[in-house]
Amino acid sequence: MRSDQRRESQDSDGPTLSIVVPVYNEGALVVELVERIVRVVRHCADTTEILFVNDGSSDDTLPRLVRLSTQIPELKVIDLTRNFGHMSALMAGLEAARGEAVVVMDGDLQDPPELIKEMVQRWQEGAHLVLAHRSSRGEGAVRRVMTSVFYSFLSRLTKGRIPGQVGTFSLLDRQCVTLIRQFSESQRFFAGMRAWIGYEPAIVEYDRPERAYGRSRVGLRGALRLARVGLLSFSELPLRLTALLAMAGAVTLALFGIAVIIIKLASSAAIPGWASTMVLIGFVASLQSACLAVMSEYLAILFVEIKRRPDGVVKDVYQHGAALRPQTDNVEVRALPGVSTR
């Protein structure tokens, strides 16, 4: 461990390492996941805390985690009042995490806990940010192609700041966590925020396995929503393309008007090509529609941002099998005025 961080860990009451895992309806696998995490973290840090954020699960995820917390002193369970969405649950975990290094991972066993040891080693060598890069993905061919195309396109739009084939699974030091917690936007894209802060990441490679239990909680609709937020939140290119299209339409319409005037002045012939005129008008109208569509997407984000609602509401926090605060003591997930309405 770096000497400055070692001194900070010794001087503070917080643990050396925090693990943040948002879960939603993962009752079939949380026992295995917790056990694998515990086996790893007890050998790679002096003190640890394991934070599971239950994002309004409707199955037995919460009872299983609460029972495990009676046996595992490092385990703390944060229970949200309802399903607020993956990003809100993740931010709730980051708000609660006290470690000098914080590992965030998905709760579906596709992010292998055994990789945490290597990530901690890279942090101890001096990295502020460690990313887990997927060398291969145990998923369907269509999903792999769509994901690859999306991240390749996003990387080009953001000039390489957001690397491809890197998901939630990562390690952030305390400085990175503090910076990300200062983001007040509601429509969050974690990979984008993580890249925006600017630290050069260390990379660890792994093969992402197939999902062990059930189906993905994200789905096609969720993946498309994530792609939309990522593209619109971290690139001005759609707006600039809209401006270019609008300009092209205006120039085309102006040239057409000039041509009509020249024909009228230079000859007595009627204006030829009624059909072509209608096609041109339709072309211009389609450009306007495309521009309005992109503008509406940005306006939709602004509509959510100006409400400044809290990310979510914590119902209870469980440790050692008991609730640490009464159920009526609801608190906001974040003190900062960032808001998600999902």
Inter-residue contact 85 to 131 (CB < 8 Å)? no
Sign of CA dihedral 251, 256, 257, 259: positive
Residue 63's pLDDT is 95
In whole angstroms, what is the distance from residue 314 CA to residue 82 CA?
9
Inter-residue contact 85 to 59 (CB < 8 Å)? no
Inter-residue contact 62 to 29 (CB < 8 Å)? no
Residue 188's pLDDT is 77
pTM of the model: 0.72
What is the total residue count of the chain? 342
Compute CA 153 distance to the chain's CA centroid, rounded to the nearest angstrom.
Answer: 16
Which tokens in the block code for residue 325?
Answer: 């605060």
**Residue 199 CB-density burial (10 A; 0-12 exposed, 13-18 middle, 19+ buried):** middle
Label residues 9-36 b or e (16+ Cβ within 10 Å = b). Answer: beeeebbbbbbbbbbbbbbebbeebbeb
What ranges make up the beta strands (E) of 150-290?
166-173, 202-208
Residue 157 per-residue DSSP state = H
Which tokens in the block code for residue 77?
Answer: 């369970």
Beta strands 313-319 and 129-137 are unpaired
Residue 309's pLDDT is 55
Residue 52's pLDDT is 97
Residue 5's pLDDT is 47
In whole angstroms, what is the distance from residue 231 CA to residue 237 CA?
9
State the residue for tokens 């939309």. Answer: 228
Per-residue model confidence as pLDDT tens for the chain (342 residues):
454 544 444 445 678 999 999 999 999 999 999 999 999 998 888 899 999 999 999 999 999 999 999 999 999 999 999 998 888 899 999 999 999 999 999 998 989 999 999 999 999 999 999 999 888 765 666 666 766 676 666 666 655 567 777 888 999 999 899 888 888 777 777 887 888 888 889 999 998 887 766 666 555 565 666 666 666 666 667 777 777 777 777 777 777 767 766 766 777 665 566 656 766 776 777 777 777 777 777 776 776 677 565 566 677 788 888 877 544 444 444 433 333 333
Q: What are phi and psi of 153, to 5 degrees?
A: -65, -45
The contacts of residue 7 (CB under 8 Å, 6+ apart) are none
State the residue for tokens 């300009």. Answer: 247
Residue 138's pLDDT is 59
Residue 332's pLDDT is 44
Residue 288's pLDDT is 78
Compute CA 243 distance to the chain's CA centroid, rounded to the nearest angstrom.
Answer: 28
Closest residue by Cα to residue 100 from 49, 38, 39: 49
Which tokens in the block code for residue 148?
Answer: 């690859």
104-140 confidence digits (pLDDT tens)? 999 989 899 999 999 999 999 999 999 998 887 656 6
**Residue 60 CB-density burial (10 A; 0-12 exposed, 13-18 middle, 19+ buried):** middle
